[in-house]
Amino acid sequence: MRDLGPAVAVAASLLFAASAARAGATLELTGAPTSTNGMSARVLGRGAAVAYFNPALLPDTPPTTEAGYFLVITHTSIALAPRPGGVDVPESIYDAQLGGPGGSSQRLALRPLPTAELVNPRRNTLVRDTTGYAALGVVRPIFGDRLVFGFYTLLPLHSFLEQHGYFSDERAQYFTNQLHYELLGDRKTMTTFAVAFGSRLADWLSVGGGADISIGTRTDMAVYVPDAGDQSQVLLGPNIRTATTAAPYFSVLTQPDPHLQVTMLMHMATSIGTDGQNQLRFWNYTYPKGQNSIKQIYEFSQGYEPLRVAIGGVYSARPHGLGKNWQVGAQAVLTRWSQYRDRHNEKPLDTWRDTISPTLGGAVDMGSQRISADLGYVPSPVPDQTGRTNYVDSSKIVASLAFDTPTSVLGASFGMGFYLSGQLLLKRSVTKSADAVHPVIDELPDNATDFVKNQPLPGAKGLQTNNPGYPGWSAQGWMLGGGVAFRLPR
């Protein structure tokens, strides 16, 4: 490489691609927000939300156009355990090197900052936020109950889409230096468009299928920096395009007995995938053979939802159809969290567990009115974070309560519903262990030496780390949702 001192130009091309944008994560988190039995919507759902949760129910859903509003209040806290003495990274880290074979030396594999110089100090995480959603849906028969169309969308009102990237290990020190609930945050602000069809093939058999549709964006950004010594002055040449993507899902519903329905549903894995590449060019620089630039490649993933398989059943007091006065149902959702990838598209070092989430629901029809309630348990897929990583998550108890009734205003008849839901994030405490399979990394190795004095580096003995989760934490919280919906008959 020739002298870079007088370098005056750097050119970069940044490729930013949302290559697999699918957005079911918000509905998986909130349940069906404007439907009776919102937490057990895969078996007891009514209204347009079944277009996402179980399209095989569309032939049983009255034609309607609906609009609703739903508000979710989130309160979560992550309290960090006090750090013991002697674990701070000292300023002497700048003089550190490691001994190599034959008396050679090499730089540190990790480049931690001195603890006292971190941009953001280690601190607890408190989240108090409110998210509003608009829900719109349509159910329309095309050929009677042989082919029924369903559409449902959930739109976050304050933001069409957010994406927040953060690391769940010692790399967080360079950024927020905080811990975050892994399965909350920007997963609550992902817009969902679900389009589906359902068909009754026989009196005892219905099928359905649909797609979760979202918009992906790809940006090719050419960046020219006239002066490498003043990178605040740049010229940008963006090239932006958008495209739609879809993730399919399928369901089957059978009625082996006039009082009993049994259903199965499969949702394919979804996420918003972002990958890109920076191409750096320097003035007066010798590149490796066959290259004319230095490439930097990155990947991100938002709202990853693994493959989900649900089974469930409903028992009705009266035979299926008009006149039934009560129903009870149960569903279990198997989620393959062992395939999870985090916001940096990395698979966790300690593989997550596949989970089964059971929910019980019931509904009572009182003439043309309906009241329903659900209760369920969602186990955390995250193993105890006793080692390097800090994926914060809690098991949850979920519940919902809803009331639907017909009403009339100025001679116009329509349906109206009121909905409540709650989620209790059970308290979870974590203590780091030196015996973990992937323990917290010693960011200043004991054998580090001072490259100037060629002597053992002071303060290197023992564990030094800026990992914000060391030596442990406790997390808990709750979510409360409420909303209203209006339905116009066909």
| 88 CB-contact burial (10 Å; exposed 0-12 / middle 13-18 / buried 19+) | middle
Closest listed residue to residue 124, CA positions, set 73, 166, 54, 181: 181
Spatial contact of 399 and 416, defined as CB atoms under 8 Å apart: no
Average pLDDT over residues 147-163: 86
Q: Residues 380, 350: contact at Cβ < 8 Å?
A: no
| pTM of the predicted structure, to 2 decimals | 0.87
15 pLDDT tier (thresholds 50, 70, 90): very low
Contact 312, 333 (CB under 8 A): no
Q: Determine the Cα–Cα distance for residues 358 and 288; give it in Å rounded to an integer.
A: 56
Question: Distance (Å, rounded) from C-alpha 90 to C-alpha 173?
Answer: 14
Average pLDDT of the segment spanning 414-423: 94
Higher pLDDT residue, 474 or 240?
Answer: 474
> What integer pLDDT is reported at residue 222 of this predicted model?
61
Range scoring the smallest mean pLDDT among 16-25, 108-117, 287-296, 304-313: 16-25
Question: Does residue 13 surpass a pLDDT of 60?
Answer: no
Q: What is the DSSP letter of 145?
A: B
pLDDT (mean) for 101-119: 83
Beta strands per DSSP E along 55-174: 64-80, 96-99, 105-106, 125-141, 148-156
Of 23 and 444, the structure prediction assigns the larger pLDDT to: 444
Q: With cut-offs at 50, 70 and 90, classify the pLDDT of residue 227.
A: low
Going by pLDDT thresholds of 50, 70 and 90, the confidence category of residue 283 is low
According to the model, what pLDDT value does residue 25 have?
Answer: 81
366 vs 374, more confident = 374
SS3 call for 59? helix
**What element of type H or E holds 239?**
strand 235-257
Residues 6+ apart with CB under 8 A from 160: 191
pLDDT tens digits for 261-279?
Answer: 999 999 998 877 666 677 7
Q: What is the chain's mean pLDDT, rounded?
A: 86
Angle at 254 between CA 253 and CA 255, to 5 degrees: 130
Which distant-in-sequence residues (6+ apart) come within 8 Å of 143 by Cβ? none
Mind listing the pLDDT tens digit for each residue in 429-470?
999 999 999 999 999 998 888 887 778 888 888 999 999 999
Q: How far apart are CA 209 and CA 57, in angstroms?
A: 11
Put the strands of the sheet holding 455-456 in their side by side order.
105-106, 96-99, 449-450, 455-456
The rounded percent of the chain whose pLDDT value lies above 70 is 83
DSSP code for 161: B
10-83+122-432+469-489: CATH number: 2.40.160
Q: What average pLDDT does range 197-217 have in this prediction?
A: 88
Q: What share of the chain in percent tops pLDDT 90?
A: 60
